[in-house]
Amino acid sequence: MTIQESRLMTIARRGLSLPAETRDQIRKIGILSRPQVEIVYQQRANQWKLRGEESGGAVELLGHYVGFVDLNGEGLPWLQRVKNFLPNGIHAVVIADELVRVEMFRYETTYHLLISKHWLQCKDGERPELKSSILFLGRNGSLDTELWGKDAAFRGGAMPHFYARSGELAAPGAIWTDATNKITEGVCCPGCRHCHLLEACISSSSPVPTKEAEKQFEFENEGVPA
């Protein structure tokens, strides 16, 4: 295995590779984002699952956000909604057999994006192994629109442009467009207190659409600390 291959495997498993100084600055600003994907064991069901935490947010200068979708780029239901007294923290927990993690870091108008797939490789009678692969990795993408300020009305409908070393456009696959738009919104959401990718879980018998259920949850729990 080459050094480059080893480095890419580490990124696929752990998330975007950011300089230590950048991570220190993110923490000092008060943004908590957790790209870790964990293996968990459900005793009653006698099965292994993957656990992820949608988290992060933004200030005017920068943003860092992590969210999750399914293998088709569609929304996943959260297991648990998390309300925090401080903003830009953990927003929800998801448990699933397989996940696609979407992680983005923004500094002013420059963006880094990682989309990675995570699943369990089972072994008879043993703890399964976490497998990860990169679906898209874009660095130094650009978007001049100030979604965190005067152009906030365009949040959710804009995404950065990424380029290959050759200068050609290198965009995520079409199935990731919606997730990329949403995570771009997340890294441009100062004082974030809500989910951008995970969705409220409602039963099939409920007449309330997912977005309406989330709005109702936000209203009922407004101002309630974690």
Give me the pLDDT at residue 202, please: 66
The string over 64-94, giving b where at least 16 C-beta atoms fall within 10 Å of a residue's C-beta and e elsewhere, is: bbbbbbeeebebbebeebebeeebbbbbbbb
Give me the pLDDT at residue 225, please: 42
Please determine, for residue 213, whether its predicted confidence score (pLDDT) is greater than 70. Answer: no
**74 to 67, 97, 102, 202: CA distances (angstroms):** 12, 15, 12, 16
pLDDT digits (tens, 9 = 90+) for 14-46: 999 999 999 999 999 999 999 999 999 999 999
Compute the average pLDDT of residues 153-177.
93
pLDDT digits (tens, 9 = 90+) for 71-108: 999 999 999 999 988 999 999 999 999 999 999 999 99
Q: Give the residue among 26, 119, 29, 39 at the shortest CA–CA distance from 66.
A: 26
Torsion angle defined by CA atoms of residues 85, 153, 114 and 175, in that order, rounded to the nearest 10 degrees: 120
